Structure 1
Amino acid sequence: MMINIKNKLTPYQWLMAGLSIVSIFLIILDFAAVISIDQPSSKWFWVNSVIVVFFAIDYFHQLYEAKNKKQFFKTHIYDLLSIIPIGFLFVGLNVFNLSGLVSDLRLLRLIRLAGLMGKLKDIFHTNGLLYVIFFTIAFLLVGAEAFAITEHVSLDTAFWWALSTASTVGYDAIFGKTIPPHSIVGKFVTMIMMLLGIGVVGMLTSSITSYFMRRTNGPTTSRTHNNIELILKKLDELEEQNKNLAEQNKQMHNEIKELKNKREESETQKLKEWFEKRKERDNK
């Protein structure tokens, strides 16, 4: 039975869900080189950082308020992953003249992406849809990173190549040119993207369709479930009444049997007394 989100979610949960979705889009757009969340000179860096700080304050506040901190830590792994300060790590690398590692370590954002997807899963209860979305995004980002490293192209070019290859559109259909792989590893990555891309995109499409169908049929399913629960409750009540009637019948049977035994004993006693009296008369 699907959960009625409008009736269940609190304003706090809507806020956390909205910030998580914004963070997910920032990570994807950063990979596509539409924006940058690695450079303090970009406003999107500060937007992303403010969200991370907000999540961190919320997480540690809940951890402080939790009675069982060990249990809280185990059940809030996604919240912990979502506050990993990847952006500040990249700033530190740039400060120490290690900017070349930024592009190589960009896939670390997948860890935070997994945490953000987990937060949404706990809020919306989408029955596995978010797992499929995360797997699709991770598949595209890992493929783009591998192609960028092996073919020595920019990450944004590799990202659009991965997206067009997995969706079977073709990079040349978008930009009017092709990017043929030259290295063995690049050819292997291309083959994987072509073979698995169709299945991944198809799985994502079918999962989204199935989710919206469940949402559409949710009210009907809910009413049907409630009717079944009502019928089962009535059947339980009837069964309990039958048990009570059977117990009462058994008790009445025992009482009748007891009365019958007492009556037989009384008649036997009267008959015995009559014989004794007659015997006494005969003796006289």
Structure 2
Amino acid sequence: MMKQPKLKKVYLMVMFLLIIISIVVNVINFKHKEMINMIILVVFALDSFYTLWKTDDKKDYLKHHFLDFIAIIPFHHAFRLVKFFPLVIQSIQITSIGQRYVLPVFLKLRETGTGKLFNIFLIIFIFLPLPLLWVEPNIKNYEDLIWWEMQTVTTVGYGDIVIQTGLGRFIGGVLMILGVGIISTFTSSLTRVLSHSKKPTHKKADYIIESLLKEKSFSEDDLEIIDAWLKLEQKKKKRNR
């Protein structure tokens, strides 16, 4: 993969953005979602094969990352009539893609101290608007609710779903305030992560990674995750002193 630290971070953010786009087009049931999902899947496939090509021990890499290659095969479209099969394949895709692209991004953001804030926001986003499913006549299902939440949090407001109750307006106001705050925080954290110069790795971390490499072949993605995890552990130990 990319050797330059900044390019590596930009690459992870782009992949993370593609995942967000894929989730959004599926949630809102976008009419071209199949084509968009296929394009994104092709990007992930090219990245997976490029990583395999750059890895020295290809057999060992395939052994430990076989889910990555199952996840990029769109064969679940041919088995739509088989009960639960599409769900199984989608679960594999979420697990594999999440571990490879989403986890490193969140580990990087956690280094900036925003991890807890995002967790709180996610809980509020999921549970706070649930009463609107019963009190708002224009919100007919959970898909409508998520779509309205996304409009509200991003302050876009297409106007296709109009809130009519006082409770709905109150929840909408809370989500708008939180949305502005979380987007600003995310942008600030993202800027900090991208502009942060790579510090020399701790000697102990170097020793651990070197020891691990003797046992198993790691890709650069794996090493990024290990390095980020070690940094978090070091910060925790400093706080406990």
User: Normalized against structure 1, the TM-score is what?
Assistant: 0.40
Looking at both structures, which has the greater relative contact order when contacts are Cα pairs under 8 Å and sequence separation is at least 6? 2
